[in-house]
Amino acid sequence: MITSPDTYPAVAQESVNHSGVSWGAIFAGAAGAAALSLILVLLGFGFGFSAVSPWADSGVSAKTLGISTIVWLAFTQIVSSGLGGYLAGRLRVKWANLHGDEVYFRDTAHGFLAWAVSTLIAAALIVGSVSSVIGGGVQAGASAASGAASAVTQVAGSAASNSNGQDYGYFIDSLFRDDRPAAVSDDAAKGVVFRIFAKSLNNDGKLSAEDRTYLAQLIAQRTNLSQADAERRVDQVYGQTAKAVEDAKTAAKNAADTAAKAAAWTSLWTFISLLIGAFVASFAAIYGGRRRDADIYLEARPYTTTTTAR
């Protein structure tokens, strides 16, 4: 005979009509986990900044700092996720007349959901408050590295730049080249030399014979060197400049490669830490749920007065 839902026991009927998710407990656990995670992350940043020194041979090394960051991130996930999962399991409603496996699954789900919500909340809080600091530092480092590579190749003056930002100073200077002594100031002569160097370094890195001869002429006019000695000085200084540019470019590439590897390792260990946090939160919710079900409710008994017969 098919039974009607009206014949279900009251407890079973309530179990069917109500959701198995205690969102209040989940959000309570998530709030606690997110707050503790934020506190621990900020504490970790404080330890990290206090251990780093801008002076050479001072403070911890980059490798030690990276390992410490990974360990602290894992510790933060374990502690905060454990707290959130335990609160989600301990604060949930008590499910009556349910199989033990179902209770086990629901507690696991509550811990996982608390971890998921807390991770989203913590990510919004931490990224919003810390990304500007880290992003500014990374951008400053990248700008310094790239600036070192391109500083030598920048044109000293911008007066000869057109509206599109293309510099024609080198070509304009070539219009006024003369074998006679140039009656220009030293700053103007240095500007011409700078533009010739920049043009050569930006192209193939080789100084043309015409530019070499002209630079030697400018140097000979302002020094006691002969034309041959001036040409040797041009070769020497230009070689040093080209080497400095190549060294700066190599340093910039090495810095970019190191930053890319560090970002990859950070992402990998962050992923592992989050997985650990999800597992710890689920396990802590099971423990908290069992503690919740083990509670014994005390029934309030009415207060009665007794009289003794005399």
Q: How many domains does the chain have?
A: 2
Give one word for 162, left, alpha or beta, with left for phi > 0 and alpha for psi -120 to 50.
Answer: beta
Residue 164 lies in a domain: no
Q: What is the 3-state secondary structure (H, E, C) of 258-295?
A: HHHHHHHHHHHHHHHHHHHHHHHHHHHHHHHHHHHHCC
Residue 194 lies in a domain: yes
Do 192 and 84 share a domain, yes or no? Answer: no
Do 176 and 136 share a domain, yes or no? Answer: no
Residue 141 lies in a domain: yes
Which pLDDT belongs to residue 83? Answer: 94
Measured CA to CA, the distance from residue 108 to residue 85 in angstroms comes to 9
The answer to whether 234 touches 222, Cβ cutoff 8 Å, is no
Residue 9 lies in a domain: no
Do 50 and 119 share a domain, yes or no? Answer: yes
Which pLDDT belongs to residue 275? Answer: 93
9 alpha carbon, distance to own chain's centre: 56
Q: Mean pLDDT per segment of 10 residues, for the chain of length 310 residues?
A: 48 56 91 91 83 68 79 91 93 78 89 93 72 52 50 41 48 58 66 80 80 82 82 85 86 86 84 92 91 68 53
The sign one gets for the Cα dihedral 84, 19, 24, 125 is positive
Residue 185 lies in a domain: yes
Do 143 and 30 share a domain, yes or no? Answer: yes
The answer to whether 221 touches 181, Cβ cutoff 8 Å, is yes
Residue 138 lies in a domain: yes
Residue 296 lies in a domain: no
The sign one gets for the Cα dihedral 65, 70, 76, 79 is negative
Do 67 and 195 share a domain, yes or no? Answer: no
Which pLDDT belongs to residue 204? Answer: 73
Residue 303 lies in a domain: no
Which pLDDT belongs to residue 144? Answer: 47
Which pLDDT belongs to residue 26? Answer: 92
Last residue of a domain, one of 221, 249, 277: 249
Do 194 and 243 share a domain, yes or no? Answer: yes
Do 203 and 142 share a domain, yes or no? Answer: no
Which pLDDT belongs to residue 160? Answer: 38
Do 64 and 107 share a domain, yes or no? Answer: yes
pLDDT digits (tens, 9 = 90+) for 269-301: 889 999 999 999 999 999 998 888 876 655 555
Do 131 and 276 share a domain, yes or no? Answer: yes
Q: Within a 13 Å sphere around the CA of 86, how many CA atoms are in the beta-carbon half?
A: 9
Which pLDDT belongs to residue 152? Answer: 43
Do 110 and 224 share a domain, yes or no? Answer: no
Measured CA to CA, the distance from residue 269 to residue 37 in angstroms comes to 17
Do 85 and 114 share a domain, yes or no? Answer: yes
Do 31 and 133 share a domain, yes or no? Answer: yes
Range of the domain at 207: 169-249
pLDDT digits (tens, 9 = 90+) for 222-238: 787 888 888 888 888 88
Which pLDDT belongs to residue 225? Answer: 81
